[in-house]
């Protein structure tokens, strides 16, 4: 049976019993059906329309309440759009969908609708094939350059060089393939959220069906623990609460009421405010309900999230030529590697430039030899082409990035996509969720107001479950129990604490934990074991129980004396927004009633004067303005003779006496403030995008330092206001909001897009399904690993294993360190390439008797320098530690990329110097006194013969000099402007500071030592030197090498001195401004 209240002329409802739905559990309490004549949220005195202040969550908001007059809805007829179902009477919705809410759809009709609308499932994104991942590794310009170099090597039968380049390519592909093998599974995670089965009414019977077979118009039954299978307009509710955190980000379950009809002006209300709707993938935490399906599959709210996660849409232009052109453009950019992060695109463009330069230099070589393309000329052309390409760049970049992944993992940051490594270092904005990210995702009793006491505040608590943690203050003064005045105030406080402890189902206790230890959660017991505070129950009741235990007034303590006996309770009712419990006083003949609930629910039940009521309302507003969720605590005493009336809720919850007010909130994480301050010092703007209410969000934002005390009016905005703005209006704002409350997934995506239009490089953090689209759209998405959903983790580029905002700061620092180190090893590699190109081009003038140019370095010498000597040095530079000022300087501009003006100028100067010195050493050895007529021999490019003695020794000199110049360069580029002899005076002071600074990076030190040692066997081992490397051992030429190294060091140190004196380069060049694109971000 279902009990339906019918409205009488006196405004009260009389229950009338009618036959209920088949399948109704006879032991379950009946579900009240809304009255046929009046549908309202709060019964108004005026039957037209009222505006009621309703406390939802943690702040008071204004909600328009529409009623029906004579059975006609004030809103226009339901049009069938699921997005407007909340502003219509459920009967209008049912009528439009042509369904009898009592009997449900017929099986035949359900089958027809299933054919029309399709299954209630999300469209999968499909698995990314292994071949796609493999193609992704090959389709970048640097790899293409290496492939061409490999083909040319094999084409000239130089199998040694070809094999080496092949090994480099394979190494790059294997490392990249391993990192990207975990294909994006966001859609699969969304699929896992769907309910496997549902209880629906069909053919007048309640049956269990697969959720995917639900159709629009089905009548669905919900109970505690159920996952909502589709978007529903609720028809009937009984104490219904639904956890919508996955969609809204709110930490507390949302109360639902089918009788609510929101006004037409609320058509675009946030999901969290639609109290007459239940959305797919959310979970019923309390009560029961019946609802009608208004959207299924991809048309649901979670389906919209899935659609946003599917990435950029393919062009829908009706013109086939446009579609083909766009596909060709997209494919070409992908093949050339011109997609991805700014650094990837910059390096890809650089690789294309190198490829073009290699072709140009080869043409110059062939032209200088009058296009007589004999083997020697072709070998010289390949030699120049190989010299211009930093073959080890991809390998060094990949290995350095892999090491950075390991370092980040040690800092609780898991990298899902390698591209996010370099991207995080250039971030200019962080868009963060509030609940569980900046806050702890739990409730905490922060303030208590008692009329005769004042305000009790709990501060500096780092473990919200520990009643002994934190400081207690009354009206700003520390609570001192020895103070007589304070003792009187504490006495006034005790009744409030007793009430919140006794009107409570939560338990808080200490348990032994010998294995696990968490900072701030444990303390040592007398036997040496770890005691962990644990709690069970509703988050709000847990917070209240901890509050009472702070003064040893916990429920267990109060009941163990035997003075009170629990009689009964009236559980929390979401429609009434209050609960009460009754205890028998064993020391007298009275009963004690304790009640708690929302202020608008408890205050009308108080026996209080208008003047005192005004004082209470003022205090409620004061606490609410601090972003606190305010609960009213009350009690009364009745004689035990009235025990028979305890079941009468209206009697128990009437004529109450106010005890006090308690303000609760979801507290910030202890490290959030320091993390936000570090971001500000680093030139990073932090934005809070939350599903919570505006007042609460603003309060938390001020607490963690996102908002200053002098923030502008546009710095705080509701999602409704933000979404109402056009893109042009958003772009015309002086600054984008620092806080946006009541966010929907679309709001977060629009915010990310607005930041991008201003030239910002943004990070999005989040943990729920609602965060996934923005995580996907942001330049770097960071998901929470502990509280985060699978959808968020799969959509994110990084995952925090500890959910601490501080870990994001560590990730940014590691990203900046990686960025700096990439510049260092790029500088080192490119100096080598520039030196070789200058040397080889000018040396075209040296010709043998046959007219062929003699190369001063053989192809294998070049490959040895580029792959063996330089690679390990570059890898050592990739392991450099972060500079001391790395988080106090503005972000580098990712538009400029790694190729800053300073890097370009330095590499050209150092490379030119090295190339000229190598050329001079070649000339000195050939034309030195005692070398005869300086004949260049014959066929010296092919191999050794007696006439090639001088050329082979000159090559060995150039090879040795270039090797040692690169060894010195590896130390010089540790800092672009500090002297080698004063690299880090703060970290390494004293007489031997240079030695300490060089030894500090052990890998680089041993790479330099090994590079120096291995040069000698390469020069002197017989056969290998003449046959493989095409040079011979040298003697007096080592003096030329020593002079060249000395001159090079003097030049580099002189240029650094100029930069320091005139403030050139690292002091200010290549850094991004915090404001870009004409507006503050």
Query: Model confidence over 161-174: pLDDT tens digits?
Result: 677 678 777 876 77
The lowest-confidence range among 73-82, 454-463, 562-571 is 73-82
Identify the pLDDT of residue 130. Answer: 66
Mean pLDDT on 50-78: 38
Say yes or no to pLDDT of 14 above 70. Answer: no
Q: Is residue 1077 part of a domain?
A: no
Identify the burial level of 1010 via C-beta atoms within 10 angstroms of its C-beta, where 0-12 means exposed, 13-18 middle and 19 or more buried: middle
The lowest-confidence range among 621-635, 929-943, 1022-1036 is 929-943
Say yes or no to pLDDT of 1063 above 50. Answer: yes
Identify the burial level of 1 via C-beta atoms within 10 angstroms of its C-beta, where 0-12 means exposed, 13-18 middle and 19 or more buried: exposed
Identify the pLDDT of residue 510. Answer: 85
Higher pLDDT, 775 or 661: 661
Average pLDDT score over the chain: 80
Residue 630 confidence class, pLDDT cut points 50, 70, 90: very high
Q: Is residue 104 part of a domain?
A: yes
Identify the pLDDT of residue 381. Answer: 73
Name the token pair of 962.
């270039």
Query: Do 1057 and 988 fall into the same domain?
Result: yes
Query: What share of the chain in percent tops pLDDT 70?
Result: 79
User: Long-range contact list for 174-177, CB < 8 A, 24+ apart?
Assistant: 175/395, 175/398, 175/399, 175/402, 176/136, 176/137, 176/398, 176/418, 177/133, 177/134, 177/137
Which of 803, 829, 860 finishes a domain? 803
Query: Do 798 and 908 fall into the same domain?
Result: no
Query: Do 685 and 567 fall into the same domain?
Result: no
Mean pLDDT on 207-212: 87
**CATH number of residue 277's parent domain:** 2.70.150.10
Name the token pair of 206.
């309640």
Say yes or no to pLDDT of 240 above 60. Answer: yes
Which of 765, 780, 803 finishes a domain? 803
Query: Do 44 and 101 fall into the same domain?
Result: yes
The lowest-confidence range among 459-463, 934-938, 1060-1064 is 934-938
Query: Do 217 and 231 fall into the same domain?
Result: yes
**CATH number of residue 733's parent domain:** 3.40.50.1000
The Cα–Cα gap between 519 and 533 comes to: 12
Mean pLDDT on 20-47: 35
- SS3 percent helix, strand, coil of the chain, rounded to 5, is 45, 20, 35
CB 184 within 8 A of CB 794: yes
pLDDT tens digits, residue range 860-873?
888 889 888 998 99
Q: Where are the beta strands (DSSP E) in 574-651?
A: 578-585, 590-598, 629-639
Say yes or no to pLDDT of 59 above 90. Answer: no
Residue 270 confidence class, pLDDT cut points 50, 70, 90: confident
Mean pLDDT on 699-726: 88
Identify the pLDDT of residue 128. Answer: 53
Which of 218, 231, 243, 433 is the catalytic position? Answer: 433
Q: Is residue 133 part of a domain?
A: no
Question: Please, where are the H alpha helices in 181-300?
Answer: 186-192, 245-248
Query: Do 756 and 638 fall into the same domain?
Result: no
Higher pLDDT, 891 or 325: 891
Q: Is residue 1081 part of a domain?
A: no
Higher pLDDT, 177 or 450: 450
Residue 105 confidence class, pLDDT cut points 50, 70, 90: very high
**CATH number of residue 922's parent domain:** 1.20.1110.10
Query: Do 501 and 376 fall into the same domain?
Result: no
Query: Do 615 and 645 fall into the same domain?
Result: yes
Catalytic residue at 433?
A: yes
Domain encompassing residue 491: 444-463+484-522+536-571+578-665
Q: In 10 A of CB 619, how many CB atoms?
A: 19
Identify the pLDDT of residue 603. Answer: 94
Identify the pLDDT of residue 990. Answer: 72
Say yes or no to pLDDT of 280 above 80. Answer: yes
Query: Do 594 and 558 fall into the same domain?
Result: yes
CB 674 within 8 A of CB 806: yes
Say yes or no to pLDDT of 1072 above 50. Answer: no
pLDDT tens digits, residue range 743-768?
877 888 999 999 999 989 999 987 77
Q: Is residue 454 part of a domain?
A: yes
**Residue 897 Cα to chain centre, angstroms:** 23
Identify the pLDDT of residue 375. Answer: 63
Say yes or no to pLDDT of 514 above 70. Answer: no
Identify the burial level of 729 via C-beta atoms within 10 angstroms of its C-beta, where 0-12 means exposed, 13-18 middle and 19 or more buried: exposed
Which of 665, 686, 714 finishes a domain? 665
* Phi-psi sector, 562: left (phi>0), alpha (psi -120 to 50), beta: left
Q: Is residue 788 part of a domain?
A: yes
How many domains does the chain contain in total? 4
Query: Do 819 and 747 fall into the same domain?
Result: no
Identify the pLDDT of residue 706. Answer: 93
Say yes or no to pLDDT of 499 above 90. Answer: yes
Query: Do 595 and 660 fall into the same domain?
Result: yes
Residue 339 confidence class, pLDDT cut points 50, 70, 90: low
Say yes or no to pLDDT of 447 above 50. Answer: yes
The Cα–Cα gap between 561 and 558 comes to: 6
Question: Please, where are the H alpha helices in 662-804?
Answer: 672-681, 694-703, 719-724, 727-731, 745-757, 772-777, 790-795
The lowest-confidence range among 141-145, 441-445, 823-827, 925-929 is 141-145
| The most confident of 161-170, 411-420, 529-538, 898-907, by mean pLDDT | 898-907
The Cα–Cα gap between 743 and 762 comes to: 18
Mean pLDDT on 591-616: 93
Higher pLDDT, 623 or 883: 623
| The most confident of 98-112, 500-514, 895-909, by mean pLDDT | 98-112
Residue 46 confidence class, pLDDT cut points 50, 70, 90: very low
Query: What share of the chain in percent tops pLDDT 90?
Result: 34
Query: Do 897 and 816 fall into the same domain?
Result: yes
Identify the pLDDT of residue 17. Answer: 33
| The most confident of 46-60, 858-872, 910-924, 982-996, by mean pLDDT | 910-924
The Cα–Cα gap between 401 and 425 comes to: 13
Which phi and psi (to 5°) does residue 716 adopt? Answer: -125, 130
Q: Is residue 689 part of a domain?
A: yes
Residue 384 confidence class, pLDDT cut points 50, 70, 90: confident
The lowest-confidence range among 17-31, 299-313, 425-439, 526-540 is 17-31
CB 423 within 8 A of CB 807: no
Residue 159 confidence class, pLDDT cut points 50, 70, 90: confident
β-partners of residue 290 are 221, 236
Say yes or no to pLDDT of 592 above 60. Answer: yes
The Cα–Cα gap between 12 and 755 comes to: 55
Higher pLDDT, 248 or 697: 697
**CATH number of residue 552's parent domain:** 3.40.1110.10
């Amino acid at each position: 049976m279902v009990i339906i209240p019918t409205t009488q002329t006196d405004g009260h409802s009389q229950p009338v019993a009618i036959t209920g739905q088949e399948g109704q559990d006879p032991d379950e309490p009946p579900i009240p059906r809304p009255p046929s004549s009046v549908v309202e949220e709060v019964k108004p005195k005026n039957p037209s329309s009222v505006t009621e202040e309703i406390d939802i969550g943690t702040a008071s908001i204004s909600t328009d309440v529409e009623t029906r007059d004579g059975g006609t809805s004030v809103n226009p007829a339901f049009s069938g759009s699921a997005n407007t179902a909340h502003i219509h009477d459920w009967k209008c919705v049912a009528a439009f969908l042509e369904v009898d809410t009592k009997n449900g759809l017929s099986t035949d009709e359900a089958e027809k609708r299933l054919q029309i609308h399709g299954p209630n499932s999300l469209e999968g994104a499909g698995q990314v094939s292994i071949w796609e991942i493999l193609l992704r590794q090959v389709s970048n310009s640097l790899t293409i350059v290496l492939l061409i170099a490999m083909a040319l090597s094999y084409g000239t039968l130089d199998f040694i060089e070809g094999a080496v380049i092949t090994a480099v390519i394979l190494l790059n592909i294997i490392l990249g393939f391993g990192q990207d093998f975990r294909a994006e599974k966001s859609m699969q995670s969304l699929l896992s959220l769907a309910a496997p089965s549902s209880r629906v009414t069909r053919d007048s019977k309640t049956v269990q069906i697969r959720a995917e077979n639900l159709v629009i118009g089905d009548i669905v039954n919900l109970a505690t623990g159920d996952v909502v299978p589709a978007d529903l307009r609720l028809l009937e509710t009984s104490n219904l609460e639904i956890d919508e955190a996955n969609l809204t980000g709110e930490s507390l379950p949302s109360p639902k009421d089918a009788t609510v009809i929101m006004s037409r002006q609320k058509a675009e209300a946030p999901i969290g405010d639609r109290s007459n709707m239940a959305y797919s993938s959310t979970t019923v935490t309390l009560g029961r309900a019946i609802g009608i399906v208004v959207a299924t599959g991809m048309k649901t709210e979670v389906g919209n999230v899935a659609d946003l996660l599917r990435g950029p849409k393919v062009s829908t232009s009706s013109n086939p030529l446009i579609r083909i052109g766009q596909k060709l453009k997209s494919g070409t950019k992908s093949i050339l590697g011109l997609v991805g992060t700014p650094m990837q695109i910059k390096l890809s463009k650089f690789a294309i430039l190198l490829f073009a330069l290699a072709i140009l230099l080869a043409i110059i070589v062939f032209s200088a030899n009058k296009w007589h393309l004999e083997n020697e000329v072709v070998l010289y052309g390949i030699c120049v082409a190989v010299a211009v390409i930093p073959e080890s760049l991809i390998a060094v970049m990949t290995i350095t990035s892999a090491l950075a992944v390991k370092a980040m993992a040690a800092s609780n940051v898991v990298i899902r996509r390698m591209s996010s490594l370099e991207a995080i270092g250039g971030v200019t904005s962080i868009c963060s969720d509030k609940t569980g990210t900046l806050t702890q995702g739990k409730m905490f009793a922060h303030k208590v107001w008692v009329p005769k006491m004042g305000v009790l505040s709990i501060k500096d608590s780092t473990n919200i479950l520990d009643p002994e943690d934190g400081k207690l203050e009354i009206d700003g003064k520390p609570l001192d129990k020895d103070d007589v005045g304070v003792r009187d105030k504490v006495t006034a406080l005790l009744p409030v604490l007793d009430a919140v402890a006794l009107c409570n189902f939560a338990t808080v206790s200490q348990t032994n934990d010998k294995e696990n230890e968490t900072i701030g959660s444990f303390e040592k017991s007398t036997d040496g074991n770890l005691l962990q505070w644990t709690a069970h129950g509703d988050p709000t009741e847990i917070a209240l129980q901890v509050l009472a235990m702070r003064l040893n007034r916990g429920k267990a303590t109060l009941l163990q004396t035997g003075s009170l006996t629990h009689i009964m309770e009236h559980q929390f009712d979401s429609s009434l927004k209050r609960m009460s419990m009754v205890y028998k006083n064993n020391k007298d003949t009275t009963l004690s009633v304790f009640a708690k609930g929302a202020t608008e629910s408890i205050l009308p039940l108080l026996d209080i004067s208008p003047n005192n009521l005004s004082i209470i309302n003022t205090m409620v507003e004061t606490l609410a303005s601090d972003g606190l969720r305010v609960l009213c605590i009350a009690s009364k005493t009745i004689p035990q003779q009235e025990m028979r009336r305890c079941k009468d809720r209206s009697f128990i919850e009437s004529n109450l006496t106010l005890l006090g007010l308690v303000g609760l909130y979801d507290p910030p994480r202890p490290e959030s403030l320091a993390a936000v301050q570090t971001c500000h010092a680093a030139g990073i703007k932090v934005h809070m995008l939350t599903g919570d209410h505006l007042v609460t969000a603003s309060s938390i934002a001020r607490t963690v330092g996102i908002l200053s005390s002098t923030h502008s009016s546009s710095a705080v905005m509701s999602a409704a206001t933000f979404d109402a703005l056009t893109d042009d209006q958003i772009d015309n704002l002086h600054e984008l909001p620092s806080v946006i409350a009541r966010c929907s997934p679309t709001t977060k995506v629009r915010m990310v897009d607005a930041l991008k239009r201003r030239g910002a490089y943004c990070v999005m953090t989040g943990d729920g399904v609602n965060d996934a689209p923005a995580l996907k759209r942001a330049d770097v998405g960071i998901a929470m690993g502990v509280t985060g959903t699978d959808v968020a983790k799969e959509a994110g580029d990084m995952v925090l294993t500890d959910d601490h905002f501080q870990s994001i700061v560590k990730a940014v620092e590691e990203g900046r360190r990686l960025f700096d180190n990439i510049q260092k090893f790029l500088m080192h590699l490119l100096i080598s390439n520039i030196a070789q190109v200058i040397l080889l081009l000018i040396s075209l003038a040296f010709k043998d008797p046959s007219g062929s140019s003699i190369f001063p370095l053989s192809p294998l010498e070049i490959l040895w320098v580029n792959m063996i000597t330089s690679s390990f040095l570059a890898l050592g530079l990739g392991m450099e530690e972060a500079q001391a000022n790395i988080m106090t300087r503005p972000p580098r501009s990712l538009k400029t990329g790694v190729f800053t003006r300073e890097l370009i100028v330095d590499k050209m100067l150092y490379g030119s110097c090295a190339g000229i010195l190598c050329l001079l050493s070649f000339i000195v050895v050939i034309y030195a006194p005692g070398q005869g007529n300086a004949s260049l021999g014959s066929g010296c490019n092919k191999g050794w013969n007696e006439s090639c003695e001088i050329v082979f020794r000159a090559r060995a000199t150039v090879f040795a000099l270039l090797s040692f110049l690169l060894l010195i360069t590896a130390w010089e580029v540790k800092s672009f402007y500090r002297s080698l002899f004063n690299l880090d005076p703060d970290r390494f002071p004293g007489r031997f500071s240079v030695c300490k600074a060089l030894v500090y990076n052990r890998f680089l030190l041993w790479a330099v030592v090994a590079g120096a040692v291995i040069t000698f066997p390469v020069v002197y081992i017989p056969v290998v030197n003449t046959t493989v490397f095409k040079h011979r051992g040298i003697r007096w030429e080592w003096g030329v090498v020593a002079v060249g190294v000395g001159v090079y060091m003097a030049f580099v140190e002189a240029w650094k001195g100029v930069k320091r004196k005139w403030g050139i380069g690292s002091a200010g060049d290549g850094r991004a401004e915090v404001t870009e694109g004409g507006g503050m971000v």
